[in-house]
C-alpha cells in the first residue's frame, strides 16, 4: 500500500500537478481575497465596505472552487491513468490488493486538497497580515470543520468521476459530471422546499421524491451544508453519514470495475 | 517423463467467456505442467488473448474451471508468482525503466531474488537505458521493458502474449536463450504467438486454437514427426476444423 501510494505521489509530482495546483490556487486565492478585502459596495445609496469577516466567507467559497477543480482533474484524468487501455492489464497483475487503489487515490487527492487549504490559510495572512490569525474574528473552528467536510465530499466526487471515466470515458465524464452536479443542486433545492411544506407527507409524489433523494449522495445539500459550516454552525449527521456511505459504495464499485478490466479487448484473439 | 513435468501448474477445463453478448471462447481446455513451455497458436480472433485474460482473472469465465498454481482463481498473492507481458501495454510513462522495475520488485520480492542485483542485470540484458523516462522510449524499448518486468522475481509461471512484436532479431535470439534457461530451471511458460517457426524452436508443446476453441494440443516433437513442422501441422489442423 505504501509503495503504491508513493508511486501515485511520484505521478502527481512528475505530471506537474502539484506545481499547477500551487500556482492556480495561489493566483485565485490571492487575487480573490485582495479584490474583496476593503471592497466598497453601493446598492441604492447604501454603502457597505467589505472587511476581513466578509473576506473570510468569500475565501471559503474561492477555496471551494479551486478544490472542486483539483478533485475533478484528479478524478477524471489522474486516478484512472493506470486502469485505462492496455495499461490496465499491467496494473491488474500487480501483486497488490485492488482495495488499495481507491485508498491511495483518496490519499493523494487528499494531499492536493490539503495543499489548496494551506494556500487559503497563507493567503489570509498575505492579504490581511499574519497577525490576523491570532485575532478574535479568525474562524479557526469553522475553517477546520469546513475543510474536513469539503474534503470528504470531494473525495466522493473524485472517485465517482474516476469510476465514470473508466466506464464511459473521460470527455463524457466531464459533461456527465457537470450535468449531474447541476441537476442534483436543483433537486436539492426542491427537496428543501418540499420538506418545509407544512402539508408535506411521505405518501405523495413529492414525498416519494424526497424519500428517494434523501438516499442519494447529498450533492444538492452540499452548498447549504458548506454555508452552515462556514458560518460556524454544524451540519446534520444524516448528511455526513450519507457521504461516508456513498464513499464506501463508490470505493466498492471502483474496485469491482478494476477487478475485471475485460472491456479492453486486444488486437488479438 | 521428467519428474518435474508431472506437477500441473495451470489447468483450464471447459472454459467459456463472453465480451458482452459475444462469445469469445468456448469450452477451452488445456493444461500446463511444471517446466513446460507451451505455445498458444491460432489465427486472429481465435481466442488466444481472451484465454490469457480469463486465466489471469481479467475476464470472468461464464463456465468452466481454472486452476492456477494450485488455486482456483487469481489473487494478489498469486500474482507474486506470475509474470505477464501483455501484447500492447505501455508501462507508466512518468517512470524510468529502473524506477519501474524497482517499484515492481517491492511487490514481487521473494526469497529467491536479490532485487537490486537482478534489476541491474535485467537492465543490461534487455539493453534498456535505466535512467530514461519510458515516455521517451521507442516502441522496441518499451517492449523490452514489458518483457523484463515479466521475468522479474523469477516467477513460477510466465505468460507472454506476442512477445516478439517490435523486437529486433538479436533480441529475439537472446529471448529464446532466456526462455530455454528458465525452462531448465523449472519455470512454466505460456507463449502466445503467430510466429510458428519461433514456437517450434522454443516450445515443448503447442495448443492450437480456432474460432474460440482448442482444436489440438500436442508436443512439438510429435507434431514435427507427424507433419514435418509446426507450421504444416497448424495448416492441417485448421483445414480440418
In a domain, A269, yes or no: no
Is B86 in contact with B80 (CB distance < 8 Å)? no
- Under an 8 A CB cutoff, do A266 and B86 touch? yes
In a domain, A267, yes or no: no
Q: Which of A70, A71, A68, A48 is nearest to A60 (CA)?
A: A68
Q: Which residues in chain B are closer than 8 Å to A269, comparing Cβ atoms?
A: 24, 42, 44-52, 192, 209
In a domain, A118, yes or no: yes
Closest CA–CA distance from residue A2 to any residue of chain B (Å)? 10
pLDDT at A230 over 50: yes
Is B8 in contact with B67 (CB distance < 8 Å)? yes
pLDDT, residue B85, reads 93
Q: Which residues in chain B are closer than 8 Å to A261, comparing Cβ atoms?
A: 58
Average pLDDT over residues A30-45: 79
Domains of chain B: 3-87+155-240 (3.40.50.300)
Among B87, B103, B161, beta carbon nearest to A7? B103
Among B48, B82, B103, beta carbon nearest to A268? B48
Q: State the Cα torsion B68-B74-B80-B81 to the nearest 10°.
A: 10
Q: Which residues in chain A are closer than 8 Å to B195, comparing Cβ atoms?
A: none
In a domain, A70, yes or no: yes
Q: Which of A164, A166, A189 is nearest to A177 (CA)?
A: A164
Q: Which residue has the higher pLDDT, A40 or A150?
A: A150
* Residue listed under C-alpha cell 522479474: B152
Q: Which residues in chain A are closer than 8 Å to B103, comparing Cβ atoms?
A: 3, 7
- Under an 8 A CB cutoff, do B42 and A269 touch? yes
In a domain, A149, yes or no: yes
pLDDT in tens, B42-77: 888 888 889 998 988 888 899 999 999 888 777 788
pLDDT in tens, B134-182: 999 998 899 999 999 999 888 899 999 988 888 888 999 899 888 888 8
Axis-axis angle for helices A52-73, A140-168 (nearest 10):
20
Residue B135 gets which letter from DSSP?
A: G
Q: Which of B182, B192, B50, B149 is nearest to A94 (CA)?
A: B149
Is B26 in contact with B46 (CB distance < 8 Å)? no
Is B25 in contact with B132 (CB distance < 8 Å)? no
Q: How far apart are CA A205 and CA A187, in angstroms?
A: 14
In a domain, A33, yes or no: yes
pLDDT, residue B3, reads 44
In chain A, the number of structural domains is 1
Cα separations in angstroms, A43 against A33, A47, A49, A132, A246: 21, 7, 11, 29, 43
Closest CA–CA distance from residue B163 to any residue of chain A (Å)? 13
ipTM of the predicted structure? 0.86
Q: What domain range is A109 assigned to?
A: 2-259
- Under an 8 A CB cutoff, do B89 and A89 touch? yes
For B151-167, what is the HEC assignment?
A: HCCCCCEEEEECCCCCC
pLDDT at A71 over 90: yes
In a domain, A268, yes or no: no
C-alpha cell at A59: 475565501
- Under an 8 A CB cutoff, do A89 and B108 touch? no
- Under an 8 A CB cutoff, do A268 and B161 touch? yes
In a domain, A132, yes or no: yes
pLDDT in tens, A148-176: 999 999 999 999 999 999 988 889 999 99
Among A96, A265, A268, beta carbon nearest to B107? A96
pLDDT at B2 over 80: no
Question: What SS3 state is found at B99?
Answer: helix
Q: How far apart are CA B14 and CA B63, in angstroms?
A: 7
C-alpha cell at B146: 514489458
Q: Which of A268, A265, A260 is nearest to B209 (CA)?
A: A268
Amino acid at each position: 500500500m505504501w509503495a503504491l501510494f508513493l508511486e501515485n505521489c511520484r505521478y502527481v509530482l512528475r505530471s506537474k500537478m502539484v506545481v499547477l495546483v500551487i500556482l492556480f490556487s495561489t493566483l485565485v486565492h490571492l487575487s480573490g481575497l485582495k479584490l474583496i478585502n476593503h471592497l466598497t459596495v453601493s446598492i441604492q445609496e447604501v454603502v457597505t465596505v467589505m472587511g476581513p469577516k466578509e473576506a473570510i466567507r468569500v475565501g471559503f467559497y474561492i477555496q471551494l472552487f479551486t478544490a472542486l477543480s483539483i478533485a475533478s482533474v484528479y478524478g477524471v484524468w489522474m486516478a484512472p491513468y493506470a486502469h485505462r487501455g492496455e495499461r490496465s492489464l499491467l496494473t491488474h497483475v500487480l501483486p497488490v490488493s485492488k482495495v488499495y487503489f481507491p485508498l491511495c487515490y483518496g490519499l493523494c487527492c487528499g494531499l492536493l486538497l490539503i495543499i489548496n487549504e494551506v494556500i487559503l490559510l497563507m493567503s489570509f495572512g498575505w492579504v490581511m497580515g499574519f497577525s490576523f490569525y491570532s485575532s478574535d474574528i479568525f474562524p479557526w473552528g469553522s475553517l477546520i470543520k469546513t475543510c474536513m467536510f469539503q474534503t470528504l465530499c470531494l473525495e466522493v466526487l473524485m472517485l465517482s468521476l474516476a469510476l465514470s471515466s473508466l466506464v464511459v470515458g473521460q470527455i463524457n465524464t466531464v459533461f456527465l459530471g457537470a450535468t449531474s452536479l447541476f441537476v442534483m443542486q436543483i433537486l436539492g433545492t426542491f427537496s428543501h422546499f418540499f420538506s418545509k411544506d407544512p402539508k408535506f407527507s411521505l405518501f405523495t409524489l413529492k414525498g416519494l421524491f424526497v424519500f428517494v433523494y434523501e438516499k442519494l449522495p447529498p450533492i444538492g445539500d452540499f452548498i447549504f451544508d458548506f454555508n452552515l459550516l462556514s458560518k460556524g454552525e454544524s451540519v446534520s449527521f444524516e448528511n455526513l453519514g450519507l457521504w461516508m456511505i456513498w464513499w464506501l459504495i463508490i470505493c466498492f464499485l471502483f474496485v469491482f470495475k478494476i477487478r475485471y478490466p475485460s472491456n479492453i479487448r486486444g488486437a488479438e484473439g | 517423463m521428467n519428474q518435474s513435468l508431472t506437477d500441473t501448474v495451470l489447468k483450464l477445463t471447459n472454459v467459456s467467456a463472453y465480451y458482452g453478448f459475444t462469445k469469445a471462447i468456448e469450452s477451452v481446455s488445456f493444461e500446463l505442467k511444471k517446466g513446460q513451455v507451451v505455445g498458444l497458436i491460432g489465427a486472429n480472433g481465435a481466442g488466444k488473448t481472451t484465454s490469457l485474460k480469463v486465466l489471469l482473472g481479467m475476464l470472468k469465465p461464464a463456465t468452466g474451471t481454472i486452476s492456477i498454481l494450485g488455486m482456483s482463481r487469481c489473487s494478489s498473492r498469486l500474482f507474486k508468482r506470475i509474470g505477464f507481458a501483455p501484447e500492447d501495454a505501455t508501462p507508466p510513462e512518468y517512470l524510468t525503466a529502473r524506477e519501474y522495475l524497482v517499484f515492481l520488485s517491492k511487490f514481487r520480492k521473494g526469497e529467491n531474488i536479490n532485487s537490486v542485483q537482478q534489476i541491474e542485470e535485467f537492465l543490461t540484458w534487455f539493453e534498456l537505458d535505466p535512467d530514461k523516462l519510458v515516455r521517451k522510449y521507442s516502441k522496441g524499448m518499451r517492449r523490452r521493458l514489458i518483457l523484463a518486468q515479466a521475468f522479474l522475481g523469477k516467477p513460477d509461471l510466465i505468460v507472454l502474449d506476442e512477445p516478439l512484436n517490435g523486437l529486433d532479431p538479436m533480441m529475439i535470439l537472446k529471448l529464446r536463450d532466456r526462455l530455454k534457461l528458465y525452462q531448465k530451471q523449472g519455470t512454466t511458460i505460456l507463449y502466445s504467438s503467430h510466429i510458428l517457426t519461433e514456437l517450434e524452436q522454443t516450445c515443448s508443446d503447442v495448443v492450437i486454437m480456432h474460432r474460440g476453441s482448442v482444436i489440438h494440443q500436442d508436443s512439438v516433437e510429435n507434431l514435427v514427426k507427424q507433419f514435418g513442422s509446426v507450421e504444416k501441422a497448424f495448416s492441417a489442423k485448421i483445414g480440418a476444423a
